[in-house]
């Protein structure tokens, strides 16, 4: 969204097809193979962001990348103090912790100079995290466990934008923050996401609206 060119390497076909649906350039490959990283000339990138949830996988990837591109700026994510130290000793320069810090930190390091930190702060303030209220949380176990807070990933339907289409209303997934178009829209991307990812609870992403819905239990509150 900041206009920074990027590409994604993932080993997960489901994740790849979801990203491709949103217009992201994706390569399905094993990024722990040094030969692949060399063929991709990863050393010429401005930075490499490693966002695996698994600390051990992250550490292995950092080691392989370091053997191919010793100077490359590495941005990684740690989920524990031990993980932080491990990544530091392997030579990762930028180790982020909370998900929000990861997003803000990646933007900080990669955005072009014309996008200022103030722009990003303003954007985050205009798009605060959303949660379900107590009444909604009490509706079903899905709502209780997917109550947020999530930060809506966009204020457009990225999948519609990617295919040059329009939408009627926007919905936000309370499990992951995905934003998709409603069932009155031609593409029904919110429902497609809920079914594909098994993320049953959505909330309206329209300004001023707070109602939520569970696809499994089919309540609206």
The residue ranges that bind Zn ion (CB under 5 A) are 140, 142, 157, 159-160, 167, 173, 175-176, 178, 181, 187, 189, 197, 199, 214, 216-217
In the complex with Zn ion, the residue whose CB is nearer, 76 or 175, is 175
Closest distance of CB 215 from Zn ion, Å:
7
In the complex with Zn ion, the residue whose CB is nearer, 84 or 167, is 167
Closest distance of CB 88 from Zn ion, Å:
32
Q: Which residues contact 50 (CB under 8 A, 6 or more apart)?
A: 58, 61, 62, 65, 74, 75, 76, 77, 92
In the complex with Zn ion, the residue whose CB is nearer, 14 or 82, is 14
In the complex with Zn ion, the residue whose CB is nearer, 198 or 209, is 198
Closest distance of CB 185 from Zn ion, Å:
6
What six digits make up the tokens of 11? 């080993």
Q: Compute the half-sphere exposure of residue 205: CA atoms within 13 Å on the CB side of its CA.
A: 29
- Residue 164 CA to residue 1 CA, distance in Å, equals 16
Closest distance of CB 63 from Zn ion, Å:
32
Which three-class secondary structure state does DSSP give residue 42? helix
The pair phi, psi for residue 220, each rounded to 5°, is -125, 125
The pair phi, psi for residue 103, each rounded to 5°, is -60, -50
Closest distance of CB 44 from Zn ion, Å:
34
Contacts 24+ apart (CB under 8 A), 180-189: 181/157, 185/157, 185/160, 187/157, 187/159, 187/160, 187/163, 189/157, 189/159, 189/160
Closest distance of CB 115 from Zn ion, Å:
26
In the complex with Zn ion, the residue whose CB is nearer, 100 or 117, is 100
Number of DSSP helices (H) and strands (E) in the chain, helices first: 10, 9
In the complex with Zn ion, the residue whose CB is nearer, 110 or 140, is 140
């Amino acid at each position: 969204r900041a206009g920074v060119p990027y590409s994604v390497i993932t080993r997960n076909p489901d994740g790849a097809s979801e990203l491709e649906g949103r217009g992201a350039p994706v390569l399905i490959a094993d990024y722990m193979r040094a030969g692949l990283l060399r063929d991709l000339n990863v050393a010429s990138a401005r930075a490499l962001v490693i966002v695996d949830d698994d600390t051990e996988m992250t550490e292995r990837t950092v080691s392989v990348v370091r053997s191919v591109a010793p100077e490359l700026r590495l941005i990684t994510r740690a989920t524990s103090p031990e993980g932080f130290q491990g990544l530091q000793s392997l030579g990762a320069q930028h180790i982020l912790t909370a998900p929000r810090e990861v997003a803000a930190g990646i933007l900080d390091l990669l955005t072009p100079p014309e996008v200022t930190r103030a722009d990003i702060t303003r954007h985050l303030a205009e798009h605060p995290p959303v949660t379900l209220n107590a009444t909604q949380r009490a509706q079903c176990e899905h709502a209780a466990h997917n109550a947020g807070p999530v930060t809506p990933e966009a204020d457009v339907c990225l999948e519609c934008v990617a295919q040059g289409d329009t939408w009627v209303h926007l919905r936000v997934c309370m499990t992951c923050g995905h934003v998709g178009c409603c069932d009155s829209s031609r593409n029904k991307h919110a429902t497609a996401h809920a079914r594909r990812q098994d993320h049953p609870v959505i909330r309206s992403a329209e300004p001023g609206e707070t109602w939520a819905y569970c696809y499994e239990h089919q309540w609206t509150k």
